[in-house]
Structure 1
């Protein structure tokens, strides 16, 4: 007969959960835990502890699929941890998270699941604030990234292996914004933002399409200046998980609606001022 742990959930055997996590990165100092700064992992751990999902995040095996820098956003981050109260975790986690951080889905996973090492691929999108004059040239140039290459000129490599295998890359357009979408098994620090910066030079006519291949083949030079973080979104992390949706969005829905309305208002104000004549 199965035991009922309703009155004493702490005595229940732990269950490992994975969550699909979204966040607006503007007010976070990156995703990785930092003692003195507001981070995605820090806020998530605090929410879990307020819900008594675990006491020690390390013992709970709290892990993220990847790190994002300050100002970078996510719609497909994966966070996993083990808890004796899985029902509480999946039903009320969003009520304790801040409005710029929320979960849209969960899954029960094996106890040995590691979101970083079990990820088959990661996809990023970079939205360009500038409208390039030659987006088709950018897309053709982006195809040169495909395959395994030395990305020393596109990243902060330090002591890491500079080779990365790019599975897909394209430049598209959505709602008046060109974007770079790139998929790989893993990425180096600043790699996607440097790739975006190089493609923007092509789109503005400052570099030719062959410049990408030349940078990939050249000895390590001074790395490109990365494009601003605000345009980058961790789009998807493929861990082979079948997700169950979480319907409660907590405070995030109203918060995002407010931001959309606020920036629409700012756009209107800018257009009024720009078109005002003496």
Structure 2
């Protein structure tokens, strides 16, 4: 719009505004004193509403809410209670369970963010925290257990540490709904299933009697009977240095572990059926289960004999681990952690919400799976002799139609003795370097 055409329009608008103002002033003049006071009060209330809206849009809080937020939380008024939490998580999109320096995408990081945000703990350092197990990148858990001191409403009872400056109250309060509080702010992949009060010296790590892992996989063209035979050979006490990733740098030099149970279960012989490998032990080594599964898959594909397990247990004959790639992490699950005398407390209302939550996740994945199966069926109608490739992705170094190199003829890793010597020299060198640094920073007279 040009200046010439806009001038008449502006004049007309100004005239209309002036007329409205005169009419409003005439209306106000006709009001009584009481009516004017009411009108002023209405306008003040409306102004306050607008101020709150503006403050909210600016990310601020006003009045009582702002005062409450700024007021420091007085931890001395609250009791603490040592509890165990049973946690489930789908770890497919996380970098592992344990907090890491170079990423925030870990289960533990997200969990502690929730614990601090809900004021259940002040910080991790003072929370008396232990975890049952460490799961790697992409690994899930249906029963990760942690022990920790949480804020409590109770002044006495199992695991309770009374407040320093308790607030006197006549009415007893129910304990905090730990599962509900945390699940309201945790992401979809992580949920607290249950909790239980425990003794103040209870440790989720050291008081665990047994850990059960499950590894889910499609049958495909695998020979399940051979895999079952290989699994049976794992049971008992063995040196697993050739079936794990040796962590000598962190002081692990004994690789003997007791496997209480190892079995492969398959309900049907259909290539699309899901099989389960279950392994039970009190303690596991770094990447032990994924290394085991790599060998069991080789056996199932007919690339190695079940006796390869016994061969690799013979560390005098085979002191160095053959180089092979671990099985995929996606199907691995910390399925259960067993303790003495723990009676988990489940909130029925929260369980109902959890069931609904997991049903929705299941539905989404099942729809995707069904759609893919329909596409596969369409294609196999045009190729009735198509092979079963379902399980190939679980063993990343397997190449169909390529020649398999037997494990015992492959290049090997360093032996345990070589690694011990390497880290001994490294520690000695680090010690010398530290000594040199001290001398250079404190020169003699």
Whether TM-score is above 0.5 comes out as yes
> Displacement of 1:212 after TM fit?
0.9
CA–CA distance in structure 2, aligned partners of residues 180 and 254 of structure 1:
24
CA–CA distance in structure 1, aligned partners of residues 234 and 246 of structure 2:
17
> Displacement of 1:187 after TM fit?
0.5
> Displacement of 1:156 after TM fit?
0.6
**What residue in structure 1 maps to residue 279 of structure 2?**
182
> Displacement of 1:131 after TM fit?
2.4
> Displacement of 1:70 after TM fit?
0.6
Secondary structure of the equivalent of 2:149? strand
**What residue in structure 1 maps to residue 87 of structure 2?**
21
**What residue in structure 2 maps to residue 243 of structure 1?**
344
Residue 97 of structure 1 pairs with residue 218 of structure 2: no
**What residue in structure 2 maps to residue 61 of structure 1?**
128
CA–CA distance in structure 2, aligned partners of residues 17 and 76 of structure 1:
15
Q: Which structure would you say has the larger RCO, counting Cα contacts within 8 Å and 6 or more residues apart?
A: 1
> Displacement of 1:276 after TM fit?
6.9
> Displacement of 1:260 after TM fit?
2.4
- Greater Rg over alpha carbons, structure: 2
> Displacement of 1:155 after TM fit?
0.6
Question: Which structure dedicates a bigger proportion of its chain to strand?
Answer: 1
Which residue, out of 106, 110, 113, partners 2:199? 110
Deviations 1:204-229 (A, max 9, x none): 11111211111111323235421000
> Displacement of 1:12 after TM fit?
2.8
> Displacement of 1:173 after TM fit?
1.9
CA–CA distance in structure 1, aligned partners of residues 87 and 76 of structure 2:
25
Indicate conservation of the 8 Å contact 1:126/1:232, yes or no. Answer: yes
Which one is further off, 14-23 or 214-223?
214-223
Alignment of 1:106-255 (within 5 A): 106-129=195-218, 131-159=220-248, 160=252, 161-173=254-266, 176-217=273-314, 218-240=318-340, 241-247=342-348, 248=350, 249=353, 252-253=357-358, 255=360
> CA 1:89/1:10 → structure 2, altered by over 3 Å: closer, same or farther?
farther
Structure 1: any 5+ residue segments left out of the alignment? 1-6
**What residue in structure 1 maps to residue 147 of structure 2?**
80
Indicate conservation of the 8 Å contact 2:114/2:185, yes or no. Answer: yes
**What residue in structure 2 maps to residue 4 of structure 1?**
none
Structure 2: any 5+ residue segments left out of the alignment? 1-72, 153-174, 384-445
**What residue in structure 1 maps to residue 104 of structure 2?**
37
Residue 267 of structure 1 pairs with residue 372 of structure 2: yes
CA–CA distance in structure 1, aligned partners of residues 141 and 180 of structure 2:
21
Which one is further off, 14-23 or 250-259?
250-259
Question: Aligned-pair RMSD on alpha carbons?
Answer: 2.4
Indicate conservation of the 8 Å contact 2:178/2:195, yes or no. Answer: no
> CA 1:59/1:270 → structure 2, altered by over 3 Å: closer, same or farther?
farther
Question: Which structure dedicates a bigger proportion of its chain to helix?
Answer: 2
CA–CA distance in structure 2, aligned partners of residues 116 and 223 of structure 1:
31
> CA 1:147/1:272 → structure 2, altered by over 3 Å: closer, same or farther?
closer
Q: How many residues align?
A: 272
> Displacement of 1:261 after TM fit?
3.8
